[in-house]
């Protein structure tokens, strides 16, 4: 996955203007919108959940609000408008990877801290309904211990999955069970003698646990790793799937008592992998979903129609440029594709989490560098068909680089002039990817509402350009 990092620093130098837009699909009574959150530095979103009030809670990492990385918590209403934000941590880097609303209306956040203890430790934060801290806990030893997934359990305690190299003779999957105050009831490690990582955990119907991750052995090189335990964390069975640089990033028990695992196929993420098993972990089917250069799968959920929604990252490379998009795949109950969507202008870190919302649409979160001076948390609400973002691949993959066309002035208030393409035809799109109209001439903007638009010349030798109309 290292190839997508090579242009990180250059992206921070590209300023863009973003105007928040909200669309309502009255036919389905489903809200469609996009929001960004953050400050002047780099901020990232990793986990989202719809809350009982119809709004959303987002967890991630913020570099904008202190001298180091801090855990970042954002509470929004149903339209994505910010109700409050909080940061947590100390003087070193602290990362928030997973959040869930708790039965008391507050929130539980799991991540990793470098601020407290002699080394990296698993970090658990319990807040009230306004995000104010009730207590914090750290777990681990003298090595590096990472927390990646948390869930409240039926006894009102918590289970946290992650990775440790503090215990045993290698890096292993780490499972921590706590009571309602975060005090440790037991811990377990799983794996072999080489390298194993835990990414996702869920309590199962029998009050045991299912853990998804990445395994390693002298036989298989980085297979998807699935562990089923009883209520005390003792292993009932383990399974591995595929065998070449594969990762199981997200696992969920399905309605039939089996499991669905989403992850990454291949060292460079050549495809999203979706594995469906029975209740014993035996494979029922495996599907791969590709998108041009590469694709990574980060999150999966079974949907109301017994199919699945998978969120991840789609990658396209053109020349020396790499373009990364949010990627959403909707399947039926057998994993066959119903539709796919990509979102963004090629400057994202992918969709890290997806959840179906109560109106049948989807909420997904990740990071985007196209709307500010650095990376920002990007939250997208779609309808049931995934409509909600820029989905024209031809348009999107070019937008982040300088166009041969010139627009002056830009931003503008009444109209602007297209320089270098006079008296030729072009198409204008709004920020949701909807076609506004086809134009012939050198002036645009009359009659358009304020917003962000994308000008696409019909002559493909010219690259698209972003235009902004202000009030």
Tokens found for residue 188: 């377990």
- Residue 393: pLDDT band (50, 70, 90) is very low
Q: Which residue has the higher pLDDT, 2 or 84?
A: 84
pLDDT of residue 223: 85
Q: Which of 205-219, 233-247, 340-354, 426-440 has the highest mean pLDDT?
A: 340-354
pLDDT of residue 3: 42
Count CA within 13 A, CB hemisphere, residue 122.
31
Q: Which residue has the higher pLDDT, 221 or 286?
A: 286
- Residue 83: pLDDT band (50, 70, 90) is very high
Least confident range of 148-157, 219-228, 245-254, 264-273 = 264-273
Phi, psi (rounded to 5 degrees) for 367? -135, 150
Distance, in Å, from the CA atom of 399 to the CA atom of 421, rounded to the nearest integer, reads 17
- Residue 391: pLDDT band (50, 70, 90) is very low
pLDDT of residue 182: 98
Residue 393's nearest CA partner among 437, 438, 341 is 341
Distance, in Å, from the CA atom of 440 to the CA atom of 459, rounded to the nearest integer, reads 13
pLDDT of residue 247: 83
With a cut of 50, say whether residue 300 has pLDDT above it.
Answer: yes
Count CA within 13 A, CB hemisphere, residue 466.
24
Collapsing DSSP to helix, strand or coil, 340 comes out as strand
Rg (CA), the chain: 23
pLDDT of residue 394: 37
- What number is the average pLDDT over the span 277-304? 94
With a cut of 70, say whether residue 16 has pLDDT above it.
Answer: no
Distance, in Å, from the CA atom of 204 to the CA atom of 230, rounded to the nearest integer, reads 9
- Residue 401: pLDDT band (50, 70, 90) is very low
pLDDT of residue 6: 36
Residue 350's nearest CA partner among 378, 383, 324, 386 is 324
Query: What residue spans of 316-463 are helical by DSSP H?
Result: 393-396
Distance, in Å, from the CA atom of 350 to the CA atom of 249, rounded to the nearest integer, reads 13
Q: How many CB atoms lie within 10 A of CB 437?
A: 11
pLDDT, the chain, mean: 84
With a cut of 80, say whether residue 309 has pLDDT above it.
Answer: yes
With a cut of 90, say whether residue 390 has pLDDT above it.
Answer: no
Least confident range of 16-20, 29-33, 207-211, 276-280 = 16-20
The residue with tokens 């591995």 is: 240
pTM higher than 0.85: no
> In this predicted model, what pLDDT tens digit does every residue of 249-263 receive, in sequence order?
999 999 999 999 998
DSSP string covering 126-147: EE-TTS-EEEEEEE--SS-EEE
Q: How many CB atoms lie within 10 A of CB 129?
A: 15
Beta-strand runs (E) in 246-375: 247-253, 259-265, 271-277, 283-289, 294-302, 308-318, 321-331, 337-343, 348-356, 362-368
Distance, in Å, from the CA atom of 129 to the CA atom of 196, rounded to the nearest integer, reads 35
Query: Which distant-in-sequence residues (6+ apart) come within 8 Å of 182 by Cβ?
Result: 124, 126, 135, 136, 137, 158
Give the CATH H-level superfamily of domain 2-396.
YVTN repeat-like/Quinoprotein amine dehydrogenase (2.130.10.10)
pLDDT of residue 459: 63
β-strands 172-178, 362-368: how paired? unpaired
The residue with tokens 């045993």 is: 168
Count CA within 13 A, CB hemisphere, residue 421.
28
With a cut of 60, say whether residue 32 has pLDDT above it.
Answer: yes
Collapsing DSSP to helix, strand or coil, 8 comes out as helix
State the DSSP H helix or E strand holding residue 240, giving kind and residue range, or none if neither.
Answer: strand 235-241
Q: How many CB atoms lie within 10 A of CB 192?
A: 16
Is 351 within 8 Å of 312 (Cβ atoms)?
yes
With a cut of 60, say whether residue 23 has pLDDT above it.
Answer: no
pLDDT > 70: what percent of the chain? Answer: 81
pLDDT of residue 28: 42
Residue 88's nearest CA partner among 42, 120, 46, 124 is 124
pLDDT of residue 318: 76
pLDDT of residue 466: 72
Distance, in Å, from the CA atom of 214 to the CA atom of 268, rounded to the nearest integer, reads 15
Is 251 within 8 Å of 259 (Cβ atoms)?
yes
- What number is the average pLDDT over the span 22-29? 43
With a cut of 70, say whether residue 192 has pLDDT above it.
Answer: yes
């Amino acid at each position: 996955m290292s190839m997508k990092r090579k242009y990180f620093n250059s992206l921070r130098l590209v300023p863009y203007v973003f105007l928040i837009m909200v669309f309502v699909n009255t036919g389905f009574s489903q809200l469609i919108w996009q929001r960004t959150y953050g400050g002047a530095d780099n901020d990232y979103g990793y986990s989202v959940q719809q809350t009982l009030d119809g709004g959303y809670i987002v967890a991630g990492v913020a570099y904008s609000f202190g001298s180091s990385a801090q855990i970042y918590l954002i509470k929004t209403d149903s339209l994505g408008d910010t109700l409050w934000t909080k940061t947590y941590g100390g003087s070193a880097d602290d990362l928030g990877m997973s959040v869930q609303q708790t039965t008391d209306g507050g929130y539980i956040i799991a991540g990793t801290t470098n601020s407290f203890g002699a080394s990296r430790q698993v970090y658990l934060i319990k807040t009230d309904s306004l995000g104010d801290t009730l207590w914090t806990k750290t777990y681990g030893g003298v090595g590096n211990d990472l927390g990646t997934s948390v869930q409240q359990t039926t006894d009102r305690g918590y289970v946290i999955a992650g990775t440790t190299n503090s215990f045993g003779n290698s890096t292993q999957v780490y499972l921590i069970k706590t009571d309602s105050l975060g005090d440790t009831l037991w811990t377990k490690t799983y794996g072999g003698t080489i390298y194993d990582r835990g990414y996702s955990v869920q309590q199962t119907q029998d009050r045991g646990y299912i853990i998804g991750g990445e395994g390693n052995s002298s036989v298989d090189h980085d297979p998807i790793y699935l562990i089923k335990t009883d209520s005390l964390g003792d292993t009932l069975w383990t399974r591995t799937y595929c065998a070449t640089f594969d990762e199981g990033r997200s696992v969920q028990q399905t309605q039939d008592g089996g499991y669905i695992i989403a992850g990454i196929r291949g060292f460079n993420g050549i495809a999203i992998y979706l594995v469906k098993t029975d209740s014993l972990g035996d494979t029922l089917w495996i599907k791969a979903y590709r998108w041009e250069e590469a694709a990574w799968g980060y999150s999966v959920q079974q949907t109301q129609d017994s199919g699945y929604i998978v969120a991840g990252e789609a990658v396209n490379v053109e020349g020396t440029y790499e373009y990364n998009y949010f990627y959403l795949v909707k399947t039926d109950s057998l994993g066959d594709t119903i539709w796919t969507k990509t979102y963004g202008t090629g400057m994202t870190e992918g969709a890290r989490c997806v959840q179906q919302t109560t109106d049948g649409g989807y909420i997904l979160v990740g990071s985007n560098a196209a709307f500010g001076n650095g990376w920002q948390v990007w939250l997208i609400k779609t309808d049931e068909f995934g409509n909600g973002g820029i989905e024209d691949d031809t348009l999107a993959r070019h937008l982040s680089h300088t166009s041969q066309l010139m627009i002056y002035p830009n931003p503008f208030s009444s109209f602007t002039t297209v320089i270098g393409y006079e008296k030729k035809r072009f198409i204008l799109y709004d920020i949701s990817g909807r076609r506004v109209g086809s134009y012939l001439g050198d002036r645009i903007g009359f009659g358009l509402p304020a917003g962000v638009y994308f000008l696409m010349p019909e002559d493909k030798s010219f690259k698209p350009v972003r235009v902004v109309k202000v009030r």
